Amino acid sequence: MTNEHDTGFSAPARATPPWTDEAPTALLVLADGTVIEGQGAGAAGSAVGEVCFNTAMTGYQEILTDPSYAGQIITFTFPHIGNVGANTEDIETSNLAASSGVKGCVLRTKITPPSNWRAAQDFDAWLKARGIIAVTGIDTRALTALIRENGMQNAVIAHAPDGVFDLDALKREAAAWGGMVGLDLAKDVTCGQSYTWDETSWQWGKGFGRQDAPRFHVVAMDFGLKRNILRELAAAGCKITVVPATTSAEAVLARKPDGVFVSNGPGDPAATGVYAVPEIKKIVESGVPTFGICLGHQMLGIALGGITEKMHQGHHGANHPVKDYATAKVEITSMNHGFAVARESLPGTVEETHVSLFDGSNAGLKLKDKPVFSVQYHPEASPGPQDSHYLFTRFVELMEARKDS
């Protein structure tokens, strides 16, 4: 069953995978009425969210625990998800008191038993334990083509082991959900109170280390922090104090940081920015070196006078080429965002530093007269290439320069 764009699904339609005779135990119901049938895995139940696709070939556990995916249903374009199982070291959410916020995942093939020396748990059992709904047996290439053509879709993902669904209710729920615009999701994934961090990055044969001789103190504003961001900062010589998303600039600066890190996170930056942007402005005005990524980059862009806009299909994957204007080098980056800073909205005091070579969207900026910079992507790269680790060094150099002056 195809439509004029040859996506494999027509809307409204009911699409059953042609390669199986099994009765469906899971559905993906799009807001336009399209019903995509498959086999359930993970938790039973239903959840509403925005469907995106991720092109990474590795790191599914890190992706599913990245708080930036809160409110989303992830379609994995790589077919074999779950084959290396799950473990306790690859969890990325730094707030263990809350889930990552991901609503579900869509998979091409059924989950197989794990085959990896690091596996501590079967992936299906891990999904159940974290309350994540999965649907398998889906033509993810067709679904990805649909998203590329029509944009990220609002949908309900549902898993009923007995195969019984209230389809009309699921369609109404999918159609009624308002989408990501206007949603402040950072408050759902941020930490409940401040804490310190000194764990450094993983090394073969040694595991994770400890930073016992830090040269700098960084306050990290948690809008959905990932553990490997904190580890990279610690490895660069920093002691980190993590503070909740709603922390005031006065409280941040009272800790006398050498630098401030504005983290990644989910949702609409304009919505989270209602309370965060005024505080970010005060931090920028203080002259303390400031480094933002992802949601932090977007809110920094707003704080500096720009605006953000919803993207058609977003950027989600570990193979995104970005050009650094300062060095003219191209780096392959990890990205996960559905909003972007509109470069034409940035004032003359702001310089664009990086650009996406996929679609030309803004991927970095800096303030010309203060030690403030940010990038749209995830330099900690978990999962993904390590081309962008130099950005943590840039941040350290700004803190060194300020100390020397």
What are the tens digits of pLDDT across the range 241-282?
999 999 999 999 999 999 999 999 999 999 999 999 999 999
Over the stretch 278-296, which tens digit does the pLDDT of each residue have?
A: 999 999 999 999 999 999 9
What pLDDT score does 4 carry?
35
Q: Are 199 and 234 in contact (CB under 8 A)?
A: yes
pLDDT above 90: residue 18? no
Quickly list H helices, 38-185: 60-64, 123-130, 140-150, 167-176
List the beta bridge partners of residue 30. 155
Query: What is the residue range of 30's domain?
Result: 14-176
**Residue 198, domain member (yes or no):** yes
**Residue 62, domain member (yes or no):** yes
Over the stretch 138-179, which tens digit does the pLDDT of each residue have?
A: 999 999 999 999 999 999 999 999 999 999 999 999 999 999
Give yes or no: residues 385 and 241 share one domain.
yes
Q: How many beta carbons lie within 10 A of that of residue 196, not counting itself?
A: 10
Regarding beta strands 35-42 and 14-15, do their DSSP bridges make them parallel or antiparallel, or are they unpaired? parallel
Give yes or no: residues 197 and 132 share one domain.
no
Q: Which helix (H) or strand (E) holds 396?
A: helix 390-404
**How many independent structural domains does the chain possess?**
2
Calculate mean pLDDT across residues 323-342. Answer: 97
Last residue of a domain, one of 151, 176, 201: 176
Give yes or no: residues 198 and 284 share one domain.
yes
Give yes or no: residues 165 and 287 share one domain.
no
Per-residue pLDDT band at 203 (split at 50, 70, 90): confident
CATH number of the domain where residue 199 is located: 3.40.50.880
Over the stretch 224-240, which tens digit does the pLDDT of each residue have?
A: 999 999 999 999 999 99
Give yes or no: residues 165 and 245 share one domain.
no
Give yes or no: residues 98 and 240 share one domain.
no
Calculate mean pLDDT across residues 346-373. Answer: 98
Q: Are 257 and 193 in contact (CB under 8 A)?
A: no
Last residue of a domain, one of 157, 176, 195: 176
Give yes or no: residues 266 and 376 share one domain.
yes
Give yes or no: residues 58 and 134 share one domain.
yes
Give yes or no: residues 382 and 284 share one domain.
yes
Q: Catalytic positions, please? A: 294, 378, 380
Residue 127 or residue 12, greater confidence: 127
CATH number of the domain where residue 76 is located: 3.50.30.20
Last residue of a domain, one of 148, 176, 204: 176
Show contacts of 394-399: CB within 8 Å, 24+ apart: 394/291, 395/233, 395/236, 395/259, 395/261, 395/289, 395/291, 396/216, 396/236, 396/237, 396/238, 398/259, 398/289, 398/291, 398/371, 398/373, 399/216, 399/218, 399/258, 399/259, 399/289
Over the stretch 63-100, which tens digit does the pLDDT of each residue have?
A: 999 999 999 999 999 999 999 999 999 999 987 655 56
**Residue 367, domain member (yes or no):** yes
Print burial letters for 158-172: b (CB count within 10 Å at least 16), e (below 16).
bbbeeeebeeeebbe
Write out the DSSP string of 65-102. Answer: T-GGGTTEEEEESSS--STT-B-STT--BS-TTS----
What SS3 class is residue 311?
strand
Give yes or no: residues 167 and 195 share one domain.
no
